[in-house]
Amino acid sequence: MRPVYALGAGAHPWGKWPEKPQLQLALEAMSAALADAGIVWAEVQGLVAASSRFEGGMGWGLHANEVVQAVAEQGIPCINVGGACAAGAIALQTAHALVASGQYDVVAALGAERMPKGFIPRPPGSADDRSDNDFLRWVAMGATNPAYWAIEARRRQHEHGTSERTLAQASALMRRNAGGNRLARYRDPISEEDVLASPMVADPLHLLQICPVSDGAAAVILGSEDYVRRSGKAAVRVAGCAVGSGQFGDPARRIPTISSTVRDGVAHTSEVTGAVRAAFELAGIGPEDVDLLEMADNSAWHILAWPELFGFYEPGQGDWMLEQGKLAIGGELAINPSGGFLSFGEATTAQALLQVSEVLWQLRGEAHGHQVPEAKVGMTAVLGLGANGGSVILTR
Amino acid sequence: MGEAAERFVVEGLVEQTSAGPRLIGSRCRGCGTFYFPQKASCPNPACTDKAPVAALLPDQGTLYSYTLQRYQPPPLFRMDGWEPYLLGLVDLGEGLQVMGMLTGVKEQEVRIGMTLRLVTEPLYCDDDGTAVLTYKFTPAGTAL
Ligand SMILES: [Zn+2]
């Protein structure tokens, strides 16, 4: 593999954008990424898009094709990848492979999403019988997504004594980080009291401890060493990049299943921890080298648990790290300086590419208003339906 | 007067035995792994036989964790007289943890580690009067 660099990134601010079709969000993110990389469409040699289930793609997830047909009919490969909420990471992995192989010099990865209102409907063609977990979890027990995270959080309270206040502090930190990020949807500061006063959704998780859904789009352009030299920008390298799927025996409460077959010694959320481990190996570094981690905080529980699962510190230590301010911007390990999913709301297929964009800007020192001082190494981690995990490490 | 009509929310989840209800899962003849609900094959990568057969699961277990579902799930879920309910994750042994509603226990009485047993209860009545049942867990020793 030859070295691959992040030439530029762009994003459409997260929010609700009823007047802008998904394609429009995608085009705006791509334009911003091209401008950031200092290149034009004619130089792009390939486009990988995260396929959305909700809008666009001509019914076949052909989101990359729609983009080039709108703005750049130049014969380039259009690759469309699925991976639900991890699709953006799979798009980046694919773009990385295309450049690393030497076949192409400049390839873009793109994710754009407008989320439907209310509950996400089941996909057409699903069977109404016991073979479909997403049917079973509703009809047999009405298990909502927050209930799965709440069951994890309650178990953590039992094992590590995590307090309601610490769980509230996680949300407050995310909002404080988002305060300086113009791309985040929710930027007003919230106190721990505000979090605890918000309605209880699934004990012990309150409304402000669960990520909502949003519309948003992000794109990252990868390229060869020649291109990054020519751009005149700081050379930020994709030092590690990996995707993975789940391991047999994983004890995680995996949405939408209603049971887990658990085996001793198997990592929790193995699809993500496996990708993280593989990314570390490729980069030849470990957790102690990382300055910031952009991770999928679908709930406040994730902020406490995930870095432990990745080996940043011992199980149970996350509470103390958070309470001591070590996870804040300027702390030992800045977690989600962007503000995370809790402050953005999840725009599923776009989310992992926003994470990579954020890390790129941080390493360049361009994360105005929420900059991690002296950031040299940044990492992302994301989880998607179907036990998809992805992780990316950028280094400067 | 005939017996009141009953059915389960989904076929093939629960078997009513003379000793009470049991969940129907699978046990792989190759590697011995238990699954719930029944599986078409065996995802254990070390298993070469991949031969799951229907198996009744233990009807008792211990509570591993739980939550209180505070708001009404989307319409696919039906429940007469809706009110917030407890959802538990129950360790049945054999390396198997199963989610289900809890019944016969108040939130302030729930303890991780408590022994629970399987029961069935009506969730709602269909338009034709059929009682639609699901499986739940209740503290062992409670009459229900
Ligand atoms: Zn087997």
Domain ranges of chain A: 4-117+215-237, 164-200+239-395
By C-alpha distance, which of A221, A232, A237 is closest to A2?
A237
Give the separation between CA A130 and CA A63, rounded to whole angstroms: 33
pLDDT for residue B143: 63
pLDDT for residue B1: 41
Q: Helices (DSSP H) in chain A: which residue ranges?
A: 22-37, 63-71, 87-100, 133-136, 145-160, 164-178, 192-197, 225-231, 270-283, 300-309, 318-323, 340-344, 348-364
CA distance A155 to chain B (A): 5
Cα of A259 from ligand 1 centre, angstroms: 17
**Whole-model pTM over 0.90:** yes
Q: Helices (DSSP H) in A191-233: which residue ranges?
A: 192-197, 225-231
Cα of B25 from ligand 1 centre, angstroms: 13
CB neighbours (10 Å) of residue B2?
4
Tokens 């898009």 belong to residue: A49
CA distance A367 to chain B (A): 38
A151 phi-psi bin (left φ>0, alpha ψ -120 to 50, beta other): alpha
Let me know if domain A4-117+215-237 sits in CATH 3.40.47.10.
yes
Does residue A145 carry a pLDDT above 80? yes
Task: For residue range B129-138, list pLDDT tens digits in order.
Answer: 999 999 999 9
> Does residue A201 or residue A131 have the better pLDDT?
A201
Does residue A19 carry a pLDDT above 50? yes
Give the separation between CA A99 and CA A93, rounded to whole angstroms: 10
Task: For residue range A209-227, list pLDDT tens digits in order.
Answer: 999 999 999 999 999 999 9
Contact yes or no for A139 and B71 at CB 8 A: no
Which tokens sit at A357?
Answer: 């964009």
Q: How many CB pairs under 8 A join A and B?
A: 125
Contacts of A262 in chain B (CB under 8 A): 95-97
What are the beta bridge partners of residue A238? A394
Query: Taking residues A105-127, what's their average pLDDT?
Result: 89
Low-confidence ranges of chain B (pLDDT < 50): 1-2
Task: For residue range A36-74, list pLDDT tens digits in order.
Answer: 999 999 999 999 999 999 999 999 999 999 999 999 999
Contacts of A140 in chain B (CB under 8 A): 9-10, 13, 100, 134-135
Question: Does A164-200+239-395 match A4-117+215-237 at the fold level?
Answer: yes
Who's near A320: CB < 8 A, 6+ residues apart? none
**Residue count of chain A:** 396
Does residue A389 carry a pLDDT above 50? yes
**Residue count of chain B:** 144
Who's near A50: CB < 8 A, 6+ residues apart? A63, A80, A81, A82, A83, A87, A88, A90, A91, A109, A110, A111, A349, A350, A352, A353
Who's near A301: CB < 8 A, 6+ residues apart? A149, A150, A152, A153, A156, A167, A205, A209
Give the mean pLDDT of chain A: 97
pLDDT interval class at A124 (50, 70, 90): confident
Task: For residue range A329-341, list pLDDT tens digits in order.
Answer: 999 999 999 999 9
Let me know if domain A164-200+239-395 sits in CATH 3.30.470.10.
no
Task: For residue range A249-277, list pLDDT tens digits in order.
Answer: 999 999 999 999 999 999 999 999 999 99
**Least trusted range by pLDDT, from A10-19, A75-84, A345-354, B3-12:** B3-12
Task: For residue range A74-113, list pLDDT tens digits in order.
Answer: 999 999 999 999 999 999 999 999 999 999 999 999 999 9
Does residue A322 carry a pLDDT above 60? yes
Give the separation between CA A268 and CA A263, rounded to whole angstroms: 10
By C-alpha distance, which of A253, A267, A255 is closest to A311?
A267
> What residues does each domain of chain B span?
6-139
Q: A60 by DSSP, 3-state: which? A: coil
pLDDT for residue B144: 57
Residue B38 contacts residue B52 (beta carbons within 8 Å): yes
